[in-house]
Amino acid sequence: MRNRWRGMLYLLGVGWVLASWMVVGCGAVHDLRVEPNTLLLPADGKRDVSFQVTATDVWGARVDVTKKARLIVRGEGAELRDPKSWEEKKFRIAKVGRYSFQAEIDEQRSPEVVVQALDQKSYVYEMLRDVYFWADKIPQEDPQRFGSPEDILQAIRYDKAKGGYDRWSYITNLQSHTDFDTKGEYVGVGFNMAYDPKGKLRVSLAHADSPAGKAGLERGQLILSINGKALKEIEEQNLWATIFGEPSAGVAVEMTIQEEGKEPRSLRFLKGTIHVRSVFLHKIIERAGKKIGYLLFNQFIEPSIGELDEAFASFHAQGIDELILDLRYNGGGRLSTALHLASLLMGRETQEKVFFQYLHNEKNKLWNQSVSFQRGVKNALSLKRLFVIAMGGTASASEVLINGLRPHLPVVVVGQTTHGKPMGMYVYNFFDKVFAPISFKLANAEGKGEFYEGIVPEIEAADDITRQFGDPEEAPLKAALESIAGPSGQSRLPLRILTPQKQIPMDGFRRIIGAF
């Protein structure tokens, strides 16, 4: 997912910074313009809206507009803010309606900029018709006939039932989204679950400082019931989205768990604020005379960059020969963080080479662009190959990382077929919510990116939930280590797993968090 608040912000209608050309022209104004031309905004009164004004003279030279131009505003509900000078003029719109903005110098006026300020339901619907990757598939509808913005998205998104792919676009609470993306915090219980190869549900990961971790939940424990409902009942009624109750601190959760060879026992704990670490574990394993780094990485969020830098500083200082990157539970997140990780892996060898490409719908082709690896990243490793542990929970930015590296670096995937999301979304704030519609496709430097069915591993291995992370005997880690230490050092393909492991449905924002 790419957060476009830090680039081309005027295209989002979110907190634009007012800018004006400051170059002195050679004569009278010939061409006066205000950009962008048309905007869709939620009428929530929370946005500072501003415009870029440009002017040229008859010779095509830029004219200084900062002291000469004034802005004409038409429409009821546009509040002028901080009118200290032209450069600081901003507007907020708090009432549904059509607004126009027009610059004037002397007696010459620019074409009008039209702003549509919309209610919640109309905003989501019109954004689907504009920035959504499958905008041409959105039917003509009256958004007011739906009960909520969430109902609109659920009813008309281009999903499997309509012959499409979208199982990812979501609407969620603004504060929750911001807390997780910028601080790595969310309200919940602090653990995740997964099925083992025999179809038994186990704790797959528990954050040590979370309510679940403090109550004694650990990787490998069997889960028999949640809040009084047996596993079979939860599965048959598809209660995964609601089984833990309201997403509020203080909500009680009861579970029955069992450890191998012991009697079942009951646990009770309260939901709270969980602070997650993206880098769950990093260590060095010595095998066949090589130092092999192991990194379990679970989220692509803003705080991840500092954690990655810390881990790679350790790898760099110890001079590792190989790296095994464990993304089995990483459901994606910020592409800017994926770019940073890719640059740490590649070092100087691929500076200025393309990591991935953004591809938008027909209406927004001007937004298409390529993103290159970062320059001068401290403690980058310059690996000759990379082993990645991936499973069905590996999605989005994790898959983009694998796909984007492959034109430049041999990447050996160990585990099972990944989720299959070669798409990304922009994040739009509206009222007290966040709307994240699928807005672009992601391809690598060779233009490849059609992995809707997932990325297939070169070495297959089941998620060995009965063993702890970093245990050299844990199945996918063991397979990667054996491949590295083998006589040829090449990948091997063992017997195929006939039945993929069952997956707990986790879409939208929940998949990005990767835990309950």
Residue 290 CB-density burial (10 A; 0-12 exposed, 13-18 middle, 19+ buried) = middle
Q: pLDDT tens across 350-407, in order?
A: 667 999 999 999 999 999 999 999 988 899 998 999 999 999 989 999 999 999 999 9
DSSP, collapsed to helix, strand or coil, labels residue 351 as: coil
Whether residue 86 is predicted with pLDDT greater than 60 in this model: the reply is no
Maximum CA extent, the chain: 88
| CATH T-level assignment (fold) for domain 279-513 | 2-enoyl-CoA Hydratase; Chain A, domain 1 (3.90.226)
pLDDT, position 343 = 94
Domain 4-118 has CATH 2.60.40.10: yes
> Domain coordinates of the chain in residue numbers?
4-118, 132-166, 185-275, 279-513
- How many angstroms separate the CA atoms of 138 and 125, rounded? 9
Residue 442 contacts residue 358 (beta carbons within 8 Å): yes
36 preceded by a cis bond (ω within 30 of 0): yes
Q: Is residue 66 over pLDDT 80? A: no
431: confidence class by pLDDT, cuts 50, 70, 90 = very high
Out of 2.60.40.10, 3.30.450.40, 1.20.200.10, 2.30.42.10, the CATH code matching 185-275 is: 2.30.42.10
Which comes out higher in pLDDT, residue 409 or 89?
409
Percent of the chain with pLDDT over 70: 87
Q: Convert the pLDDT of each residue in 476-498 to its tens digit.
A: 999 999 999 876 544 444 444 44
| 118-168 confidence digits (pLDDT tens) | 999 999 999 999 999 999 999 999 999 999 999 999 999 999 999 999 999
Q: For residue 498, what are its two tokens?
A: 């006939």
Residue whose C-alpha is closest to residue 391's, from 362, 370, 416, 369: 416
Nearest to 273 by CA among 183, 181, 186, 178: 186
> Of 70, 67, 56, nearest to 26 (Cα)?
56
Residue type, 244: F
In this structure, what token pair is assigned to residue 85? 């000078």
The confidence score (pLDDT) of residue 134 equals 97
Distances (CA, A) of 238 to 121, 501, 504, 516: 27, 17, 9, 15
Task: Please check whether residue 271 is in contact with residue 248, taking contact to mean a CB–CB distance below 8 angstroms.
Answer: yes
Pair of tokens at residue 90: 């901003």
Q: Backbone phi, then psi, for 283, in 5-degree steps?
A: -155, 170
Average pLDDT on 25-35 reads 71
Calpha distance 494→203 (Å, rounded): 27
Q: What are phi and psi of 401, to 5 degrees?
A: -60, -50
Is 162 in contact with 81 (CB distance < 8 Å)? no
Rounded-to-integer distance, Cα 5 and Cα 369, Å: 16
SS3 state at 147? coil
Q: Which residues neighbour 330 within 8 Å (Cβ) at sequence distance 6 or greater?
A: 297, 298, 299, 300, 393, 394, 395, 397, 398, 514
Using alpha carbons only, what angle is made at residue 281 by residues 300 and 214, rounded to the nearest 5 degrees?
95
pLDDT of residue 137: 96
**CB within 8 A of 241, min separation 6: which ones?**
505, 510
User: Rounded distance, CA 272 to CA 407, Å?
Assistant: 43
